[in-house]
């Protein structure tokens, strides 16, 4: 099978698994501790059944919506993923290109492995968003978001569920580090995965390019250490207000799971919030996002847009999130599996699969427009 003939996101995942060294695949695929949240993000989608309507004219279907006031062809946003070049050289530009082709926003990770300015250069028409953390070093945060403004990012996505890094056991057991440590297993895998190894030899080991500023040591290890040592476990709500003022544009808070935090975010004046548990990579046993969504929607109402990420592997998952009140879904791993399988062709395919599945789902549930979906369409199974 080639990426272009992949029928599902899971097909792309299997292709990614065979193309990547085990430690790299596990870094993308894995999650924190017992990976309960990773599983629940999926199984809780599977507990939602459709209550389809029949004899509805679904000859013309509409998946498009507005996201932060601008038209998007799908209720979808590509989520930020750091060090994506581990999956494929310049994966960030491939994903930005695919997102633009699909008519949806792309979020640049603060830890992207292509510099944000280079992503803009490669994707001049992209709807770019920039994801940041409110770092201990306020000057570092200020300079990153100032650069995001210069390249025309239309929203700042502030990730708030990382007071410290979660512990990912697959990474620990694989001895996965940044930069990659040459364990016997990795060396064996590099021989087994010549296409991946060839890219690394050609393009170098991925580094967090946004931190290369001439002031700090630019080695791969130092940049990774700079990022992690700057995470702020003392971060609280008042700083969010200050970052909002410094940014001055549209603000999305990513990593909300509790309705009281959603309320607080809305009071601070965020434009949107992303119901997210970081794909299960931070707090294990955190509630699945599709379960967290309805009470947050009930609290926030129309005061801010609500997005959901975690476990989106089917177009029908996007439709389920919309039915339960999300304005759009975000994808992390689905895009990464695609790009890891075959670069830009693979990420194009991932987005195409999701768009086609969403369209077919709308027809079969008897809803001509994704924005008309509501809780009436779904049934929560025990």
Active site residues: 278
Q: How far is the CB of 345 from ligand FMN (least distance, A)?
A: 20
Q: How far is the CB of 335 from ligand FMN (least distance, A)?
A: 8
> Counting contacts by CB under 6 A, is residue 348 touching ligand FMN?
no
Q: How far is the CB of 9 from ligand FMN (least distance, A)?
A: 10
Stretch that binds ligand FMN, among 78-86, 143-151, 228-236, 241-249 (CB under 6 A): 78-86
Site for ligand FMN, residues 218 to 247, rule: CB under 6 A = none
Stretch that binds ligand FMN, among 57-65, 194-202, 277-285, 316-324 (CB under 6 A): 277-285
The CA–CA distances, whole Å, from 154 to 97, 145, 293, 301, 311 equal 16, 11, 25, 23, 26
Residue nearest to ligand FMN (CB): 332
Stretch that binds ligand FMN, among 9-17, 206-214, 231-239, 308-316 (CB under 6 A): 308-316
Q: How far is the CB of 282 from ligand FMN (least distance, A)?
A: 9
> Counting contacts by CB under 6 A, is residue 344 touching ligand FMN?
no
> Counting contacts by CB under 6 A, is residue 343 touching ligand FMN?
no
Secondary structure in 3-state letters for the chain: CCHHHCCCHHHHHHHHHHHCCHHHHHHHHCCCCCCHHHHHHHHHHHCEEECCCCCCCCCCCECCEEECCEEECCCEEECCCCCHHHCCCCHHHHHHHHHHHHCCCEEECCCCCCCHHHHHHHCCCCCEEEEECCCCCHHHHHHHHHHHHHCCCCEEEEECCCCCCCCCHHHHHHCCCCCCCCCHHHHHHHHHCHHHHHHHHHHCCCCCHHHCCCCCCCCHHHHHHHHHHCCCCCCCHHHHHHHHHHHCCEEEEEEECCHHHHHHHHHHCCCEEEECCHHHCCCCCCCCHHHHHHHHHHHHCCCCEEEEECCCCCHHHHHHHHHCCCCEEEECHHHHHHHHHHHHHHHHHHHHHHHHHHHHHHHHHCCCEHHHCCHHHEEECC
> Counting contacts by CB under 6 A, is residue 276 touching ligand FMN?
yes
> Counting contacts by CB under 6 A, is residue 79 touching ligand FMN?
yes
Report how far residue 291's alpha carbon sits from residue 296's, in angstroms, rounded to the nearest whole number.
10
> Counting contacts by CB under 6 A, is residue 109 touching ligand FMN?
yes
Nearer to ligand FMN, 28 or 328 (CB): 28
Nearer to ligand FMN, 343 or 367 (CB): 343
> Counting contacts by CB under 6 A, is residue 144 touching ligand FMN?
no
> Counting contacts by CB under 6 A, is residue 291 touching ligand FMN?
no
Q: How far is the CB of 204 from ligand FMN (least distance, A)?
A: 19
> Counting contacts by CB under 6 A, is residue 111 touching ligand FMN?
yes
Among 3, 15, 23, 28, binds ligand FMN (CB under 6 A): 28
**Which of 323-352 are b and which e, b meaning 16 or more Cβ less than 10 Å from the residue's Cβ?**
bbbbbbbbbbbbbbbbbbbbbbbbbbbbbb
> Counting contacts by CB under 6 A, is residue 310 touching ligand FMN?
yes
> Counting contacts by CB under 6 A, is residue 250 touching ligand FMN?
no
Q: How far is the CB of 346 from ligand FMN (least distance, A)?
A: 15
Stretch that binds ligand FMN, among 147-155, 193-201, 273-281, 295-303 (CB under 6 A): 273-281
Q: How far is the CB of 83 from ligand FMN (least distance, A)?
A: 7
Where does this chain bind ligand FMN (CB under 6 A)? 28, 41, 79-82, 109, 111, 131, 159, 254, 276, 278-279, 281, 309-312, 331-334, 336
């Amino acid at each position: 099978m080639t990426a272009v003939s992949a029928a599902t996101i899971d097909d792309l995942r299997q292709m990614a698994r065979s193309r990547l060294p085990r430690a790299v695949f596990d870094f993308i695929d894995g999650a924190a501790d017992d990976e309960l949240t990773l599983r629940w993000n999926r199984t809780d989608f599977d507990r939602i059944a459709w209550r389809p309507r029949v004899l509805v004219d679904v000859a013309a279907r509409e998946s498009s919506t507005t996201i932060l006031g601008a038209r998007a062809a799908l209720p979808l946003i590509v989520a930020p993923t750091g060090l994506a070049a581990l999956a494929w050289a310049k994966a960030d530009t491939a994903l930005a290109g695919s997102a633009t082709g699909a008519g949806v926003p792309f979020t640049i990770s603060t830890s992207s492995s292509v510099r944000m300015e280079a992503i803009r250069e490669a994707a001049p028409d992209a709807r770019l968003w920039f994801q940041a953390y409110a770092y201990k070093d306020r000057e570092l945060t200020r300079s990153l978001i100032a650069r995001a403004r210069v390249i025309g990012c239309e929203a700042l996505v502030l990730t708030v569920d990382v007071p410290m890094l979660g512990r990912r056991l697959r990474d620990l057991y694989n001895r996965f580090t940044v930069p990659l440590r040459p364990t016997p297993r990795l060396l064996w895998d590099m021989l087994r995965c010549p296409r991946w190894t060839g890219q690394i030899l050609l393009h170098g080991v991925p580094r967090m390019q946004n931190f290369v500023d001439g002031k700090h040591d630019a080695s791969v290890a130092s940049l990774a250490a700079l990022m992690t040592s700057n995470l702020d476990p003392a971060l609280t709500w008042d700083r969010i207000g200050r970052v909002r003022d410094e940014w001055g544009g549209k603000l999305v808070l990513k990593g909300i799971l509790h309705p009281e935090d959603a309320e607080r975010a809305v009071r601070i004046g965020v434009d949107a919030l992303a119901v997210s548990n970081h794909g299960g990579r931070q707090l294990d046993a955190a509630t699945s996002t599709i379960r967290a969504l309805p009470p947050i929607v009930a609290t926030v109402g129309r005061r801010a847009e609500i997005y959901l990420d975690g476990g989106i592997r089917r177009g029908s998952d996007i439709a389920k999130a919309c039915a339960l009140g999300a304005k759009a879904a975000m994808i992390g791993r689905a895009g990464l599996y695609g790009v890891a399988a075959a670069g830009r062709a693979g990420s194009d395919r991932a987005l195409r699969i999701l768009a086609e599945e969403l369209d077919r789902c709308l027809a079969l549930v008897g809803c001509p427009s994704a924005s008309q979906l509501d809780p009436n369409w779904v049934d929560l199974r025990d």
